[in-house]
């Protein structure tokens, strides 16, 4: 699932209602059906947040701990961990894999100084990881 701020703005009300966010019903259905069917999910950037709103007891990454490089991360971490999501700090370009739930995530452009070539490479590796999860 591709990320970007539009994912949260268009598929949920998270940006305006962080205390009690709602995700569009069709999105909840599709994500829930993937989870129920034991299908892997790969997500980037703010899609990581969207997935965790539907399946809160998962492990995702929102990037590293440097607030200058990841300015939105502290607010997101507090909100999501309160819902039961485990947030794993990763280096830029690294993949966080939740093998139990078959979810692979990368921070992507949550990292402010991200370079397109590194993001493209990490997305390619994310796809490979999702394919590996599908074969488990």
| Contact (CB, 8 A) for 39 and 130 | no
Reading the block at residue 6, the tokens are: 């539009």
Q: Which of 18-22, 29-33, 82-86 has the lowest mean pLDDT?
A: 18-22
Query: How many helices (DSSP H) and strands (DSSP E) are in the chain?
Result: 5, 5
Instruction: Give the CATH number of domain 5-134.
Output: 3.40.50.880
Residues 6+ apart with CB under 8 A from 129: 42, 95, 97, 104
Where do the structural domains in the chain lie, given as residue ranges?
5-134
CA–CA gap between residue 61 and residue 87 (Å, rounded): 5
CA–CA gap between residue 69 and residue 83 (Å, rounded): 25
User: pLDDT at position 16, please?
Assistant: 87
pLDDT tens profile 30-76: 999 999 999 999 999 999 999 999 999 999 999 988 888 888 888 88
This prediction has a pTM of 0.92
């Amino acid at each position: 699932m591709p990320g970007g701020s539009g994912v949260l703005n268009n598929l949920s009300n998270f940006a305006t209602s962080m205390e009690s966010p709602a995700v569009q019903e069709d999105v909840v259905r599709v994500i829930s059906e993937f989870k129920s069917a034991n299908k892997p999910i790969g997500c980037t950037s703010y899609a990581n947040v969207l997935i965790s709103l539907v399946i809160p007891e998962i492990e995702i990454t929102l990037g590293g701990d440097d607030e200058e490089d990841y300015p939105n991360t502290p607010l997101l971490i507090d909100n999501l961990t309160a819902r039961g999501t485990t947030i794993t700090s990763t280096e830029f370009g690294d993949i966080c894999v939740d093998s139990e739930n078959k979810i692979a995530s990368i921070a992507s452009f949550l990292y402010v100084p991200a370079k397109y070539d590194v993001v493209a490479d990490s997305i390619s590796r994310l796809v490979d990881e999702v394919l590996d999860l599908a074969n488990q």
